């Protein structure tokens, strides 16, 4: 038995079916791709939008800048959206302890990652008023560091952070710049951290 078919305008149309006796028959099958009425009207459009995060065309400097912009407007369009963007850029393995913030932390759960940004040393990044790049260093072709001074919203609130970016080689993230670490310049966890 053989089957030949074609797809035309969203329809599957078998041309012919032939059995052992040489008998041929034609039939048509029509399927609808309409959105079910229990989904919102903009369902398809929202599904096609990718969440903001790493892009192949971002340079290391652009990746740092986009993350800082997201933290500056952290609660837009919803609470802690900027921290979500940071989590998407994070280049750590969620199944292993990470030195993303300096000490070894288990950051596999977003809630633990989020809490550290609300810690006194890192909260200056959330909704910050001003920032200035202090230095940039290409350690290797695919390894970049940038030190950034940040002034927060509270009086006399200013801190320095070092972003370490790595460009992945191989795998599904090949060519993407991901954040290996964001370190506070001081000893931000000397008093302990309950995360």
pLDDT in tens, 77-136: 999 999 999 999 999 998 999 999 988 888 888 999 999 999 878 999 999 999 999 999
What pLDDT, in 10s, does the model give residues 130-156? 999 999 999 999 999 999 999 999 888
Structure-block tokens of residue 78: 């919803």
Alpha helices by DSSP H, 57-133: 60-72, 81-89, 110-117
CA 62 to chain centre: 14
Is this model's pTM higher than 0.85 or not? no
DSSP at 192: -
Phi, psi of 83 (to 5 degrees): -70, -35
Q: What mean pLDDT do residues 44-68 have?
A: 83
Inter-residue contact 184 to 159 (CB < 8 Å)? yes
Of 173, 164, 151, nearest to 101 by C-alpha is 164
């Amino acid at each position: 038995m053989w089957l030949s078919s074609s797809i035309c305008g969203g329809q599957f149309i078998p041309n012919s079916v032939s059995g052992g006796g040489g008998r041929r028959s034609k039939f048509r099958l029509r399927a609808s791709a309409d959105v079910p009425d229990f989904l919102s009207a903009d369902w398809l459009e929202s599904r096609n939008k990718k969440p903001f995060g790493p892009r192949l065309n971002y340079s290391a400097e652009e990746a740092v800048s986009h993350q800082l912009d997201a933290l500056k407007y952290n609660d837009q369009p919803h609470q802690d959206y900027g921290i979500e963007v940071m989590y998407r850029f994070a280049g750590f393995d969620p199944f292993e302890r990470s030195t993303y913030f300096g000490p070894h932390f288990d950051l596999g759960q977003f809630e633990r990652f989020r809490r550290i940004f609300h810690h006194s040393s890192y909260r200056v990044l959330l909704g910050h008023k001003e920032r200035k790049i202090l230095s940039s260093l290409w350690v290797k072709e695919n390894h970049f560091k940038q030190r950034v001074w940040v002034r927060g919203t509270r009086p006399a609130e200013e801190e320095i952070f070092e972003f370490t970016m790595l460009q992945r080689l191989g795998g599904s993230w090949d060519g993407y710049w991901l954040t290996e670490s964001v370190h506070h310049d001081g000893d931000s966890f000397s008093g302990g951290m309950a995360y």
